[in-house]
Amino acid sequence: MDNVEIIKNMPLDGGNLSLNFINTYKDRLVASPIDYLTGKEEWIAWLKKVGILENEITNFDDVDFNLKEVKKKREFLHRVFQGLAFHREIKEKDLKCFDSLLQKIRRATKIFVVDNIPQEYLEIDANDLNSYILKIGKAAHELLMSEKTDRIKECGNCGWLYYDSSKNKCRKWCNMDTCGNEVKARKYYESKKKLKDKIV
Ligand SMILES: [Zn+2]
């Protein structure tokens, strides 16, 4: 299966747009993690998957895209949210990155009024696929300011970050059906093996 197909089928277990963005990199905890964002096609597939692609354009050949920049943003967001998950101090450099992203978001935020009700929207540049980072940044900012950052956790099996919305904040895995079951099966196998080794 190529990465576009994987992206189309991948679960969105992050519980927040920015965490799902971070989770386009899987198995960060092992020696060879898997990066699903490998090019423009994959980025478009992911934007469609999370439902934020506004573009009416169907041919993206002439639309700007900078993969390196997308990955840079993903890594800095990962450092910030993983830092929060493990109560680590967030580096000045990363806070500055957040500041500059926030300024861009503010510049792209437009106000309009419908039936005397003021509303706002984030203006996306149709000719620049990287401008969707602003939408992700907005979700990241909302999460950061939500006073619920203690619910941000890292899955001990695959390294994905997720928002724990469980009542007792006791969710251990990004998804019980996938990682939770994998860990359970592994533990079961290991305990059986130990028992067998003892008998032998
Ligand atoms: Zn997981």
* Residue numbers in the chain where pLDDT is lower than 70: 55, 200
Distance 181 CA to ligand 1 centre (A): 10
Domain layout of the chain by residue ranges: 3-199
pLDDT for 194 equals: 74
Start-end of H helices in the chain: 3-9, 17-22, 40-49, 67-85, 92-108, 133-144, 181-199
For ligand 1, the distance from its centroid to the CA atom of residue 183, given in whole angstroms, is 10
Listed residue (3, 24, 8, 10) closest to 77, CA to CA = 24
Average pLDDT of the chain is 92
Rounded Cα distance, 171 and 160, in Å: 13
User: What's the fold here for domain 3-199?
Assistant: Jann2411-like fold (1.10.3300)
CA 26–ligand 1 middle distance (angstroms): 9
How open is the CA angle 1-59-126, to the nearest 5 degrees? 110
pLDDT digits (tens, 9 = 90+) for 121-155: 999 998 999 999 999 999 999 999 999 999 999 99
Distance 67 CA to ligand 1 centre (A): 25
DSSP 176: I
